């Protein structure tokens, strides 16, 4: 791939150029993935920058980003490919009309016609394999799919090829760089984990989160970034249903800047907790903690 993968330090600088502040572990895994051609399984709490990492890697490498958003019920027709049945039916009807008018049309002719490239609908996995340009494939929230779909991913990631009965085997002309993200909603199979490099992205340390805030939020002061970081860190230590993510932290900081708030007092913090927390019980618990800390 690009020269930005020449070393872990180059990866770190490249990610920083995309406003993604990495650490040594992230830079090393991305570097090894590029050199070894192995997928990366990125686990960690929701909102810690797992998806953004794949986007940043694609951008810094000048590669096309192809995203497969996983969900319960995702099957081969939505992940890999399917045939355009409506278009095929119209073509069959046209062939029948032609035959009725005296044209010699065999079923073999019809079959060869309707199962051709013209009627193939590519989904993200097949798009990534067939692309002639460099691709970063993002398989987002892989822990949401069923075991059967995970098995399909295993086959694709092992050989980087797809067998389409009507067209034959499609082999990747270039191996895409693959990121699979997981929020640990369920345990992934050992077989999938064996095929991947593993990266755990946790909530950032205070100083790193402050740097992320300053890099991502225009107009934020050092003092405000520090206050935001410290309050969020305190909230993450509470027993909440959902701790504030990095993305929610950035939303909070942006809102404070937009409303002209330069210093956060307890009342301001409590009045804006709905930007950080999404459960009523969490907001009530956090409000009490901020009151006691005042």
User: Which sequence spans correspond to the domains of the chain?
Assistant: 3-74+124-200, 81-119, 206-293
* Tokens standing for residue 139: 């398989």
Q: Tell the residue number behind the tokens 């953004």, with chain if given.
A: 52
Q: Which one, of 72, 82, 63, 185, lies nearest residue 132 by Cα?
A: 63
- Alpha carbons 288 and 67: distance in angstroms, whole number: 41
- Residue 293, pLDDT > 70, answer no
Burial of 237 (0-12, 13-18, 19+ CB in 10 A): exposed
Contact at 8 Å (CB) between 126 and 66? no
Output the six-digit token pair for 131.
């692309």
Neighbours of 211 (CB within 10 A): 16
Structure confidence by residue, pLDDT tens digits, 148-163: 888 888 888 888 888 8
**H or E stretch at 1:** none
Q: What is the predicted pLDDT for the residue at 1?
A: 55
Overall average pLDDT of the 123-139 stretch? 94
Q: Would the pTM count as exceeding 0.75?
A: yes
* For residue 99, pLDDT beyond 80: no
CB count within 10 Å of CB 246 equals 22
Q: Give per-residue pLDDT as tens, 181-225.
A: 999 888 899 999 999 999 999 999 999 999 999 999 999 999 999
Query: How many CA within 13 A on the CB side of residue 59?
Result: 14
Through-space distance between the first and last CA atoms of the chain, rounded to whole angstroms:
52
Cα(217)–Cα(193) distance, integer angstroms: 35
Cβ proximity of 284 and 294 under 8 Å: no
Q: What would the 3-class secondary structure string for 159-212 be?
A: HCEEEECCCEEEECCCCCEEEEEECCCCCCCHHHHHCCEEEECCCCCHHHHHHH
Which class in CATH covers the domain with range 3-74+124-200?
alpha beta
| Residue 205: count of CB within 10 angstroms of its CB | 12
Contacts of 86 (CB under 8 A, 6+ apart): none
In the chain, the percentage of residues whose pLDDT exceeds 90 is 65
Helix axes 246-258, 206-216, angle to 10 degrees: 50
Q: Which of 89, 184, 99 is nearest to 144 (CA)?
A: 184
């Amino acid at each position: 791939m690009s020269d930005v993968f020449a070393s872990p330090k180059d990866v770190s600088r490249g990610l920083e150029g995309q406003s993604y502040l990495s650490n040594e572990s992230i830079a090393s895994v991305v570097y090894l993935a590029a050199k070894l051609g192995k997928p990366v399984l990125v686990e960690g709490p929701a909102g810690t920058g797992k998806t953004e990492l794949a986007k940043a890697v694609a951008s810094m490498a000048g590669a096309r980003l192809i995203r497969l958003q996983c969900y319960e019920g995702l099957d081969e027709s939505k992940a890999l490919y399917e045939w355009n049945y409506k278009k095929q039916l119209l073509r069959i009807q046209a062939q029948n009309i032609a035959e009725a008018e005296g044209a010699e049309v065999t079923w073999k002719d019809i079959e060869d016609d309707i199962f051709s490239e013209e009627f193939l609908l590519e989904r993200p996995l097949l798009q990534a394999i067939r692309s002639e340009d460099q691709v970063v494939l993002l398989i987002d929230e892989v822990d949401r799919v069923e075991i059967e779909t995970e098995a399909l991913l295993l086959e694709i990631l092992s050989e980087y090829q797809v067998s389409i009965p009507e067209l034959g085997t499609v082999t990747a002309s270039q191996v895409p760089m693959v990121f699979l993200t997981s929020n640990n909603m369920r345990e992934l199979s050992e077989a999938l984990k064996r095929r991947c490099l593993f990266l755990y992205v946790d909530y950032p340390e205070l100083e790193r989160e402050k740097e992320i805030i300053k890099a991502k939020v225009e107009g934020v002061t050092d003092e405000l970034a520090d206050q935001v970081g410290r309050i969020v860190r305190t909230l993450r230590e509470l027993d909440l249903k959902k701790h504030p993510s990095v993305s929610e932290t950035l939303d909070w900081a942006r809102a404070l800047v937009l409303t002209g708030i330069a210093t956060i007092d307890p009342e301001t913090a409590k009045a804006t907790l709905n930007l950080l927390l999404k459960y009523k019980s969490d907001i009530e618990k956090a409000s009490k903690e901020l009151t006691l800390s005042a």
